Amino acid sequence: MSSAADNAKHVPVMLRRTLEMLAPALRAPGAVVVDATLGLGGHSEALLREFPEVRLVATDRDPVALRLAGERLAPFGDRATLVHAVYDEIPEVLERLGIEQIHGALFDLGVSSMQLDEADRGFAYAQDAPLDMRMDQTVGMSAAEVLNTYTHGELARILKVYGEERFAGKIASAILREREKEPFSTSARLVELVRNSIPAATRRTGGNPAKRTFQALRIEVNGELSVLERAIPGALAALAVGGRMAVLSYHSLEDRLVKGFFAEAAATNAPPGLPVVPEEYQPRFKLLTRGAELPTEEEIAENRRATPARLRGAERIRERVGS
């Protein structure tokens, strides 16, 4: 089991660049920043240290993460408010706390280091473990239940869409055959099934062949993409003028969603052909990155989990229409 001391050893992804991106919005006294994905508290701790006047509101759906991060952030007292919530609930969390607007928001998507490192969570395909994959183990359906109850069509769909798996249909057929013999319960059996379902030539490239299947199951179990579709607009709406949002994503599906929401927020919605764009049609946000920023080679060498990271940022430059 992780401890607060262990957590302090974890290196937050693209930490310095993230702080730089949010800094212009967080230097004013009374600024409020939301860490939507608290995890082990590494980004939150850095925000509290870097900006001594800032108030932090941090959410996480994982009760274990909240406890461990709470120990880590205890020295900051009431500057840090930690809430058990999924990040699409941020507007409701802010309303309960009486906070009308925020000045910064950080989303570090995907699985936390703690969840990957705790074998009994079932996120990592490199070690045998119960097939759980729930970020909050107190609610919802586990990965094993998905494997043992979904139809062939449902399994093939999530593997193809969420895992971008070329052999989704073949893997789904193998899952149905194997679960008739014995229900799935641990990860090693699934890893072996996926490996045997994929042609040998394909297995020789691209790392562990089970990674796409595990990604797909994790996204399905936690509703990650549907949550993200609600969370980004909700957090953007909460930003004050001059407020900034930074989002770290780790696979193309997440990044594509973030890119789309940011592009829409930064675009004019004026009818075509107007010689002058009226104020109400001006973009409400500007983009802070050209495309997605990538981790440096040095950072990847220090923290291999940073390898797939993509960072995007946006800043509110106008009040919402009707404000």
42 is in an annotated binding site: yes
Burial class of residue 291 (count of CB atoms within 10 Å of its CB; 0-12, 13-18, 19+): exposed
> Tokens representing 226?
């549907």
Q: Give the residue among 174, 120, 115, 111 at the shortest CA–CA distance from 147.
A: 174
CA distance 232 to 106: 10
CA distance 297 to 287: 24
The residue count for the chain:
323
87 is in an annotated binding site: yes
250 is in an annotated binding site: no
Q: Give the residue among 59, 19, 78, 79 at the shortest CA–CA distance from 69.
A: 59
Helix (H, G, I), strand (E, B) or coil at 177: helix
CA–CA distance from 159 to each of 126, 170, 178, 213, 276 (Å)? Answer: 19, 10, 17, 6, 48
CA distance 209 to 211: 6
- φ, ψ of residue 14 in degrees (nearest 5): 45, 45
Sign of CA dihedral 116, 189, 138, 250: positive
103 is in an annotated binding site: no
What's the order of all strands across the beta sheet hosting 239-249? 80-84, 55-60, 32-35, 102-108, 239-249, 310-316, 285-287
137 is in an annotated binding site: no
Residue 245 contacts residue 239 (beta carbons within 8 Å): yes
60 is in an annotated binding site: yes
Q: Dump the DSSP string for 197-230.
A: HS-HHHHTSSS-TTHHHHHHHHHHHHTHHHHHHH
43 is in an annotated binding site: yes
| Positions at the binding site for S-adenosyl-L-methionine | 41-43, 60, 87, 108, 115
Question: Which residues line the annotated binding site?
Answer: 41-43, 60, 87, 108, 115
